[in-house]
Amino acid sequence: MFIEQIKKKNFNSILYLPILLGFFGLMIVNYFSTQDVNTEDLMHQMKIQFGENLMFVILVGPLSLMCLGLLFWVKFIHNQSITSLTTSRKEIDWGRILFSFSLWGTITAIMTLAVYFAEPEDFVVNFDTSKFFVFLILAIILVPLQTSFEEYFFRGYLMQFLGVLSNTRLIPFVVSSVLFGLMHIANPEVGKLGHVILIYYIGTGFFLGILTLMDEGLELALGFHAANNLVTALLVTADWTAFQTPSVLKDISEPSAGLDVIIPVFVIFPILLFVFAKKYNWNNWQERLFGKLIKEEVINTNEA
C-alpha cells in the first residue's frame, strides 16, 4: 500500500522530473568534478581553513536543506501529504522510528567500543569539550535532516514514482537500492578503500528497501539511517572519511576493505531483518518485494 496509495493522489509523472533530474544531475557533476581531485587532501585543507564544525555544516547542510525543499515540493506542488510520502499508515508511527533508531544506535555504539577495546592502538582519544558539544547540537539538528532526505528521496519519492510507472515493486526496489549505493561513489571512502566498498553502500540500499517495502513505510529506514550516521559521527572519525568531526575517538589505523564490508551486508542486516520481521509480523515476502501493485479498485474495496 505504500506505493499504491500514490495512485489516488492525482499522480502526475511530469512533476517528478525536476527533482529527480536535478538531483541525479548534481550527483553526476559531483562525481566527474572529483575524478582528478585527491579528496583526502581536499578534506584536510577544508578542515584547516574552516575548522571541523563549520566544515561539517558545509558538507551536511546542503542535503539537510534539500530535505526541507523536497518536503515543500511534495506538499505544495504535488499536493501530497508528508504522511503519504512517509508511510501507508494513517499517521507516521514515531514508535517505529524510535525503536529502529535505538536498536541500531545501541548496536553501533557497542561495536565501535568493542573494536576500540580490542585494538586500542588503532585509535586516539579525540574528545575536545569546547568543540564536541557545539558539534553535538549541530549533529542532532543536521544529521537527521540529511539522512531523512536520502530516505525520502530514494525510498519515498523515487520508489513511489517508479512503482506507479512500472506497476511493480521489483523495479523500484532494485533501482532505488543500486542508485542509493552509487550516490556514494564520490565519497572519500571509495577513493581510499576502492570500489569494493560499494558492496556495503548498495547492500545497505537493498536492506533499507526491504525495510520500506515489508513494513509499508519509511519509519524503520528513517530511524536506522539517522542512528547509523549520527552515532558514528559522534563516536569516531578518521582522516579519510566523509565526516571529519570532533568525535570522541579518531581512527588512525590504515584502512582496508575486508570483512567489515561483507559482515554488515551478509550477517548483521539479515539478523536485523529477522528481528524486525518478528516484531512487526511481516509475511508474504515475495509479493511485497517482487509482486505487482494492488489494483486501485482492490484498494478502494479494502478501504470501504
DSSP secondary structure string, 231-260? Answer: HHHHHEE-TTSS-----SEEE-SPP--SHH
pLDDT exceeds cutoff 90 at 239: no
pLDDT over 50 (residue 304): no
Instruction: Find out whether 254 and 58 touch, Cβ atoms under 8 Å.
Output: no
Average pLDDT in the 10-25 region? 94
State what percent of residues in the chain have pLDDT above 90. Answer: 76
Residue 303 above 60 pLDDT? no
Instruction: Report pLDDT digits (tens) over 178-206.
Output: 999 999 998 888 888 888 999 999 999 99
Confidence of residue 241 (pLDDT cuts 50, 70, 90): confident
> Residue 32: pLDDT band by 50, 70, 90 thresholds?
confident
The closest alpha carbon to 80, from 173, 12, 155, 22, belongs to 12
SS (H, E, C) 56-69: HHHHHHHHHHHHHH
Which pLDDT does position 296 carry in this prediction? 59
Average pLDDT over residues 107-135: 94
Q: In what order do the strands lie in the sheet with 249-251?
A: 123-125, 249-251, 236-237
Q: Which residues pair with 124 in a beta bridge?
A: 250
pLDDT of residue 115: 93
Instruction: Give CA–CA dist 145/124, Å, rounded.
Output: 29
| Residues 93 and 221: beta-carbon distance below 8 Å | no
Q: How far is CA 183 from CA 108, 203, 219, 242, in A?
A: 23, 13, 22, 13
- Where is 80: in which H helix or E strand? none
Q: Tell me, what's the pLDDT at 72?
A: 98
**Beta partners for residue 217, in sequence order:** 87
Per-chain mean pLDDT for the chain: 92
> pTM for the whole thing?
0.94
Is 213 in contact with 2 (CB distance < 8 Å)?
yes
pLDDT at 31: 86
Question: Where do we find the cell 581553513?
Answer: 49
Q: Give the phi and the psi of residue 124 in degrees, each rounded to 5.
A: -125, 150
- Which pLDDT does position 78 carry in this prediction? 95
pLDDT at position 258 is: 79
pLDDT band at 34; cut points 50, 70, 90? confident
In this model, does residue 299 exceed pLDDT 60?
no
Residues 6+ apart with CB under 8 A from 116: 123, 236, 249
Strands 123-125 and 249-251: antiparallel
* Confidence check: pLDDT of 300 > 60: no
Helices (H), 77-168: 82-86, 94-118, 129-150, 159-166
